[in-house]
Amino acid sequence: MKTPFFIFIIFTFILNSLLCSTTLEISTSNDKRINKYYYYFNNQTIWIDKNNQIKDIAFDLIEEIKDDKILKPFVNKIFNIKKIENLLEHRDHLEKTKIIELDTLLTKTYDQYMNYLARGFINWKSFIEELEKIEEESEIKAKWSKYEVRKNNIKLLKTSIEKDDINYALKQVNYTFPYANDLEEEITRLEKIKETGGYTITPEILQPLKVGNFYPQIEFIRQRLYESKDIDSLECAKVVKNCQYYFDKKLFKAVINFQKRYGLITDGVIGKNTIDKLNTPIEEKIKVLRVNLERMRWLPRNLGERYILINIPAYKLKLYEEKKVQLKMDVIVGKKKFPTPIFSHKMSEVIVNPYWKIPQTIVKNEIIPKLAKDSKYLAKENIKVFENWDVNSLEFDVSKVDWNMYVNNDLIGTPKEAPMRFIQTPGGSNPLGRVKFLFPNQYSVYLHDTPEKQYFKMREKTLSHGCIRLEKPFELFENILTINKDDIKIVKKLEESDYKLSKKIPIHIVYLTAWVENDKLQFRDDIYNYDKIQSKLLFESTF
């Protein structure tokens, strides 16, 4: 009697398994990565329940992918969305093999999309190759560091299914950058404007348009600024006859608002640059937004409770604390020939009254040619020449050196033949000014003061050799360090002093040509041509 009963139990268990669950064979996929999912899920379907019903989370995943703000135009070319949707549509009549196929497709799609969220979509190797081409052709050393999120996608999926919320997994790897969600909303807004025909085109002008005058283009400009919310109504100064053509004060303020959003000179005069920005096709704007969102997936997910953010195209530094801006200032960044690298690090040290240890490339290309013409150049600039980078090392007597012999050669950078290190003393014309902020990195860049404050008034601030010059360095100094009267005395005495930070401050140097600030969409010029390179990789080379 025991044996038949035992057989009955086994038979019942097998029958229930067949009725209540769709079991997969481990060899279903040739993809070892996908097989790991099913091994973790005991070789059972992941997206289909025990009653062979498609779980809501499967539909949610597809909708999230279809609505991805970066990939939306070509999402069907990347994922098997149409095939999945076709299987979902006929889900009530699927054979077991098709159910298994659907489940496997969903798993592959989930894994692919999670990896995209964590790493970005642009082929990073291709981008680095583009930068290397630039260096080969133009000797421009453009550098960009990327940060990837590494999570266990399988465990995240398990938790998402338990919570019945696919967004739980997606949010663990997707960008967390402050501007990201706002930029997504702007893409949605611009797409709606595009569907209705796009922005009004402003006619060309023969001369700059100034407030207080009549111009036929004003009617179009007012409409265009209303569409971009730079002016709140289309009403004009009705006390003036033919006011639709009159450049009134209300429109003048709207023009300034627009110019601010594009980083233009805010004079309220409508010139060629302003017209060009007004007439930028909306399709191009949407592309720029998508490229900038892509970049946000290359950033660290945890920026820090207190951190410094420097946006190169905006020439702006912001110090954040508890998600609020505590300090902001203009910055001067690397020339187009010496672009400031894009990366994240941690500030650890501040030096007041720094010596400037002049890079050998600057010595060779700039200082030596000047010395060949003026042997007293070093004395005028308070530059001394030492045996090594230690200011206490042997100092050379340069009064009798024939600098012409060093022009156009590498002797100055060869320690065995010419162990010369040029160091400029604190104060005076020292380009580091009175304070520099260190975050030791592979690119040898840092933040520093500058004696040439007049350059902060320029619209385009690409003037350095890669380091970042600060408009208000001592405000940053006071914000990150507690200083006393003795510290202030040291600053005045021009004595070099080193301050170690008790807690390192994350610093993020980013490249954003579009973002949202104070509910206003901002655009800046693509000063290093990264938009052009990355747009090609994102929108053209991919397919």
Annotated catalytic residues are: 448, 467
Pair type for strands 468-470 and 324-334 = antiparallel
Left, alpha or beta for 332 (phi > 0: left; psi -120 to 50: alpha)? beta
Cβ-contact 426, 494 below 8 angstroms: yes
Rounded Cα–Cα distance for residues 77 and 102 (Å)? 18
Sheet holding 421-424, edge to edge: 356-357, 421-424, 383-386
Best CA proximity match to 336, nearest among 227, 460, 212, 518: 460
Rounded Cα–Cα distance for residues 288 and 522 (Å)? 11
Best CA proximity match to 45, nearest among 114, 115, 96, 113: 96
- Backbone Cα Rg of the chain: 31
Tokens representing residue 437 in the block: 């902020």
Q: What's the N-to-C CA distance of the chain in angstroms?
A: 68
Rounded Cα–Cα distance for residues 519 and 161 (Å)? 35
Report CA torsion sign: 383, 385, 389, 390: negative
Q: How far is CA 326 from CA 19, 308, 464, 474, in A?
A: 62, 10, 26, 14
Residue at 418: amino acid letter: A
Q: Which H or E element spans position 330?
A: strand 324-334
Rounded Cα–Cα distance for residues 185 and 516 (Å)? 10
Residue 255 phi, psi dihedral angles, 5° rounding: -65, -40
The label of the residue with tokens 């990896």 reads: 115
* Cβ-Cβ contacts under 8 Å for 234 (sequence gap 6 or more): 222, 223, 226
Torsion of CA 262, 538, 286, 252, to 10 degrees: 10
Running DSSP on this structure, what letter comes out for residue 201? P
Rounded Cα–Cα distance for residues 234 and 251 (Å)? 9
Rounded Cα–Cα distance for residues 35 and 30 (Å)? 8
Residue at 157: amino acid letter: L
Cβ-contact 192, 173 below 8 angstroms: no
